[in-house]
Structure 1
Amino acid sequence: MDRASDVAWRSIDRVFRARIGRLTAGISPVGLSEAYFDWLGHLWMSPGKQAQLVEKAWRKAGRIGLYWMQCISASNPSPCIDPLPQDDRFVAAEWQQWPHKLIYQNFLLHQQWWHNATTGVDGIDKHHERVVEFVTRQLLDVVSPSNIPWLNPEVSTATIKQGGLNLVRGMRHFHEDWLRLVGGRPPVGAEQFKVGVNVAVTPGKVVYRNRLIELIQYSPTTDDVYAEPVLIVPAWIMKYYVLDLSPHNSLVRYLVERGHTVFMISWKNPTGSDRDLGMDDYRELGIIAALGAIDAICDHRKTHAVGYCLGGTLLAIAAAAMARNGVDRFASITLLATLVDFTDPGELGLFISESEVSFLESMTWEQGYLDTHQMAGAFQLLRSNDLIWSRALRSYLLGVRPPMNDLMAWNADATRLPYRMHSEYLRRLYLDNDLASGRYKVGGRTIFLTDIRIPIYAVGTEKDHVAPWRSVFKLHHLTDTDVTFVLTTGGHNAGIVSEPGHKNRSFQMATKNTADRDTDPETWMTTAPRFEGSWWPTWQSWLARHSTGRVAPPPLGNMAIGLAPIADAPGTYVLER
């Protein structure tokens, strides 16, 4: 009776927090308040820091005053502060004219002062400091002069030239976007990219299906193939076809055309009935089940396994568990933008604390899953200037729709996350960092990444906000095998979808053997050679070197043991909404 009563009261708490979560976009107000109280309390107890901030405020006031006088007396004075390298809000020529150059210089000085105010306060918890700095930066971005029509010269010029028609179009765009958002429809232009029509069109068959995955085997295009097949494990938070976008930038097509037998896991889009699927289910019903089907089709040959983002983390877990049990199934492992050490997951880690995880658990507990809008909002905040404000400026103030491309359309095609799995990966990986700390258990046994003895190819991207490359690099220190590490230009998605011929692409690459575990990322970055172009050809050559020769292509499926083709690629799970 007492236990039943306890569950009932806890259910009330969860429902209450879930209702609040819908108003706060999933951000825990308690966690945010705790961070700000920590900052304010320690700032109050730091009179030296307060005096320093007052001094900085006077100095910045003097700098902007001097700059104002120089603007009056000189035609083109040097700016008193430069934007950060990634900040392109004020690069247009109109911002260099009076009075707009004074306005944006004043804003940048204020932004710099607030950065000084929210960092470097003695005694504050480092996580709280990063939360306060991040949230304050987001609030400042809201009131940036680039977002205020009458302060933005680009908007003013366009409004005068077009007689306000840009604002009329912007209102129409806003209305259309709002209707699509509340109706759960994809953004404007995404309908141009249809799965199975002009994206995810590499020919193949679904050769295996269970309640969680469809396994796609792609049709060969060469007379013979490398003996070892390739299994790709995408992240389960998005649809698999980021690696099979348009024909010109499909990683799957690239591999097939070079003689690889490629299999792809396509994850089911879970519903409330899947709420109890956990990390072990994703490993067993996903990777292990796929390997069983591949064994039957490819005559029990070893497999080159490829994991992307959290799919790579799951692959590393599966590989370590299999190695601990003496199972030798992989010829190599490739990890694309994958974290195995979550000590520093970048700004995404700002959303991971005990308070925040408990808050998110209440939201997902009520509905049985984390929905796509809640997840997309968190990722957009990480790059608010690029993904929110610059798009709002162009669409709603300038009246110009940014063009849609296949990668952007895919990015809007997310999947839900089951309650149990979402809770487990947040707690066991992000919050407790069990995998890197040697505490992660599979089947009751602790697994260790050092048990993995096969070659690893790892790719990090320079501008990754989801899996920062320096954190991806920590794989060097957690394994006792050869690791070939590639650092490529681009971000978490664009750096991976980096086909040959893609403009402005380059990468660094170096291999460490078991004696080079102490290399740090900064030393690696200064010593690893740089190559122009895409990393794909180098990786494909690496796969070929770790293969044992060429054989006749295997059949699509294996009808003799009940693995007859079920459907044409891309299958049905990828189409679920």
Structure 2
Amino acid sequence: MAQKNETNSAKDQSNASVDQYLAKDPERLARNLARALEELGKAAAAWTEAREKGETGDVTTAPLIDMVRTFSRVSEYWLGDPTRALEAQTRLFAEFMGIWANAIRRMSEDAAADYAAPPAADKRFQDPEWGRNAFFSFLKQAYVVTSRWAADLVEGAEGLDETTRHKARFYVDQVSQALSPSNFLLTNPELFRETMASDGENLVRGMRMLAEDIAAGKGELKLRQSDASKFKVGENIAMTPGKVIARSRLVEVIQYKPVTKQVLKRPLLVVPPWINKFYILDLNPKRSFIRWAVEQGHTVFVISWVNPDERHGMLDWADYIEEGIRFALDAIEDATGERSVNAMGYCVGGTLLAASLALMAAEGDKRIASATLLTTQVDFTHAGDLKVFVDEEQIQALDKAMSGRGYLEANRMATAFNMLRAGDLIWPYVVNNYLRGRAPLPFDLLYWNSDSTRLGAANHSYYLRNCYLENNLSRGRAVLHGKPIRLEDVTIPIFNLATREDHIAPAKSVFMGSRFFGGPVEFVLAGSGHIAGVINAPDLGKYQYWTGAKPEGMLENWLPGAKENPGSWWPYWHAWIEKQDNRSVPARKLGGRRKTLGDAPGEYVRTRA
């Protein structure tokens, strides 16, 4: 009797497992599928209309061509010898046979482990059905062994130059991420269940969002990562009080209101990247570097770059230095009377600042007395996965795409950055938004990430060629104002911060850049990545940072002798600034004798691309 009850119980569980994948109301499901297809048709229409109107170019084909070319090089090795090809195919076949044998064994051994399993931290396969349902378990394991096999083909291909192998690794990872069974309705148990439970309502909502996002991207998918309706620049982000004290066609210069009676004599000029907007440094009061620096007694000035359009297409790095950094220095001198300034550059803003320092040194302009570089590359030998998108053919395609309008659409660069962490920044949102039909939650960091900027043609082309492609900046071959500039001419003190998990400016690359300056360099390595490692307020008590000897040799040799310190690097930086000059003066009036032009965060930052 007990055995019969156990058998009935097993049957009930099996039936329940099957029932969750069956339509509750087939007629309603059919109607919703028709509605979803209608919304999908709107998405296709938005995609087609943009191309018919010429609103989007064919620049996206360049990376695809490069991917095909790269895979062809790998295939050439494996297919060039029948023995090697058979060996590779046999390895994959053996893996599939292992999965099959494991599936047979699990029919009689409920506790049998998977033949191939993803890492425990892989969020894509957390649902229990990936393990207990034979169909989904097989899909998961087949995906794991196939993606590993493809990665092994890249590593095992002999005769590849390192650039091609790097590209092949990157492209294989992108394809593997895209083809994961977790990304498809019928191969993801969670999506399958939700679709049946709602009779397809999730697909109607998801396809509607897809159509909206393609229309918002003017024919390209503008992937929403946060609920944009919950944020407004100047109201609940970028809130630190201040005034716009100067404006050029490229920048607004913002001065922030002091909160201390005494301030450091040297003002602080922050040069953010023009690829993103400056308010990453002022997301909210708890994490705002700008607010914190003001509270420490800095007179903070920040450059807010214009979101470029047709009018800015011919402006290159020399213009960004003259009408950006030097224009801001002039405004600071007018507002404070100070000619000696501490400067800080973040990411590509730091790269521009470094080039500016070399140019100013050559021309005898000594207004910047110290420079802080945050996750900044000046040498691009080890520049990471972004180098995948930079070769002569791809730059020519970009130049052609930018020549008509004078700028690159914001969505292009945003997509490239998202691809560096596709498993975190692309596919979870594709699944959540368009298959589950759920709007993303509000998150200030991801709102900032999606608030992208266009890129001026001449400026972007100069950057790609002189930094990523030819590495001219560190080699003393970058030309500004008609003459080469040399980083070794920069003899002022440099505070050079890298972050350990940086996927945009790898720590190894930032460390190597330290050797090219002609003066003392304080190298600090912070925990976490490109954003979280920088925007790490002391009150949060998160992460750590390492300090140590002069940045000589290689990072892996420097790190064992470095001291690990808990928490934020911000106070350590502030102490370093005070070592350079700790004189103080009474807090300054906003704008000094200049007429202010409006409240912070200004107008340029509000322009959405």
TM-score (norm 1): 0.89
1:517-536 mapped onto 2 (5 Å cutoff): 517-518=552-553, 520-536=554-570
What's the CA shift for 1:87? 4.0
Shift of 1:62: 4.0
- Name the structure 2 match of 1:574: 605
Does the 8 Å CA contact 1:506/1:535 hold for their aligned counterparts?
no
**2:399 alignment counterpart:** 361
For residues 387 and 262 of structure 2, what CA distance do their matches in structure 1 show? 46
Q: 1:9 is matched with which residue?
A: none
Answer yes or no: is 1:417 the counterpart of 2:455.
yes
Task: Return closer, same or farther for 1:371/1:155 CA change in 2, 3 Å cut-off.
Answer: same
Indicate whether 1:380 and 2:418 are aligned: yes
Cα deviation for residue 216 of structure 1 reads: 0.6
| Matched residue, 1:554 | 588
Question: Which residue, out of 84, 100, 108, partners 1:65?
Answer: 100
SS in 2 for 1:150: helix
**Higher CA-based Rg:** 2
Matches within 5 A, 1:267-286: 267-286=305-324
Matches within 5 A, 1:307-326: 307-326=345-364
Task: Provide the residue aligned with 1:180 in structure 2.
Answer: 216
1:171 shift after superposition: 3.7
Deviation at 1:244, TM superposition (A): 1.4
After TM superposition, the structure 1 stretch with the greater mean CA deviation from structure 2, 259-268 or 445-454, is 445-454
The range that moved more, 416-425 or 67-76, is 67-76
- Cα 1:195–1:365 change in 2 (3 A) is same
Indicate the SS of the match to 1:287.
helix
Distance in 2 (alpha carbons) for counterparts of 1:543 and 1:564: 30
Match of 1:350 in 2: 388
RMSD of the alignment, in Å? Answer: 2.7
- Structure 2 residue aligned with 1:138, among 150, 174, 184? 174
Inter-partner Cα distance in structure 1 for 2:501 and 2:453: 24
CA-CA distance at 1:249 after TM superposition: 1.4
Q: Go from structure 1 to structure 2 and tell me whether the alpha carbon gap of 1:41 and 1:233 turns closer, same or farther (over 3 Å shift).
A: same
The answer to whether 1:491 aligns with 2:529 is yes
Letter in 2 for 1:209: R
Provide Cα deviations, 1:159-218, integer angstroms capped at 9, x if missing partner. 455554444443444344344334898946213211111111211111111111111111
Cα gap change, 1:394 to 1:527, in 2 (>3 Å): farther
SS of equivalent residue, structure 1 residue 484? strand
Amino acid at match of 2:298: H
- From 544, 555, 568, give the equivalent of 1:507: 544
One-letter amino acid matched to 2:555: P
Shift in Å, 1:153: 2.0
Tell me by how many angstroms 1:348 deviates. 1.0
Does 1:236 find its partner at 2:274? yes
Tell me if 1:25 matches 2:60: yes
Displacement of 1:230 after TM fit? 0.7
Partner of 1:444: 482
- Whole-angstrom distance in 2 between the partners of 1:132 and 1:379: 18
Runs of at least 5 residues in structure 1 that lack an aligned partner in the other structure: 1-15
- Report if the CA contact (8 A) 2:227-2:439 is conserved: no
Give how far 1:86 is off. Answer: 7.1
- After the TM superposition, which of the residue ranges 203-212 and 526-535 deviates more from structure 2? 526-535
The structure 1 residue matched to 2:294, chosen from 238, 256, 259, is: 256
2-side partners of 1:92 and 1:456: how far apart? Answer: 49
1:21–1:359 Cα contact (<8 Å) kept: no
* Alpha-carbon spacing, 1:164–1:44, altered in 2? closer, same or farther (3 Å): closer
The aligned counterpart of 1:402 is 440
Secondary structure at the residue paired with 1:249? Answer: coil
Residue type matched to 2:556 in 1? E
Shift of 1:506: 1.1
Contact 2:525 2:547 in 1 (8 A): no
- Kindly indicate whether residue 485 of structure 2 is the aligned counterpart of residue 427 of structure 1: no
In structure 1, what residue type is equivalent to 2:180? S
Question: Structure 1 residues 166, 68: closer, same or farther in 2, change over 3 A?
Answer: same
* Letter paired with 1:353: D
Give the structure 2 partner of residue 78 of structure 1: 113
Q: Check conservation: 1:233, 1:307, Cα contact below 8 A.
A: yes
- 1:5 aligns with none
CA distance in 2, matches of 1:294, 1:54: 66
Q: 1:224 to 1:183 in 2, by over 3 A?
A: farther
Q: For 2:549 and 2:477, how far apart are their aligned partners in 1?
A: 26
Aligned letter for 1:572?
E
- Partners of 1:390 and 1:365 lie apart in 2 by 34
**Whole-angstrom distance in 2 between the partners of 1:303 and 1:52:** 64
Q: What is the identity, as a one-letter code, of the residue corresponding to 2:170?
A: F
Shift of residue 121 of structure 1? 1.6
Gaps (5+ residues) in structure 2?
Answer: 1-50
Q: Does the 8 Å contact 1:487/1:509 carry over to 2?
A: yes
More off after superposition, 312-321 vs 354-363? 312-321
One-letter amino acid of the structure 2 residue matched with residue 483 of structure 1: V
**Structure 2: how far apart are the matches of 1:330 and 1:567?**
26
How far is 1:315 from its partner?
Answer: 0.6
Identity value in percent: 37
1:538 aligns with 2:572: yes
1:89 aligns with 124
Aligned partner of residue 450 in structure 1, secondary structure: helix
**Displacement of 1:537 after TM fit?**
2.5
Report the Cα distance in structure 2 between the residues aligned to 1:338 and 1:201, rounded to whole angstroms. Answer: 26
- Distance in 1, matches of 2:223 and 2:401, equals 23
1:546–1:471 distance in 2 versus 1, CA, 3 Å? same
Distance 1:51 1:479, change over 3 A: farther
Aligned match of 1:114: 150
TM-score scaled by length of structure 2 = 0.84
Q: Secondary structure at the match of 1:217?
A: strand
Aligned pairs, how many? 554
Structure-1 separation of matches of 2:96 and 2:55: 41
One-letter identity of the residue aligned with 1:181: G
Question: CA deviation digits over 1:136-170, x for unaligned, max 9?
Answer: 33233222110122221222343455554444443
Q: Against the structure 1 CA distance between its residues 431 and 217, is the aligned structure 2 distance closer, same or farther, given a 3 Å change threshold?
A: same
What is aligned with 2:74?
A: 39
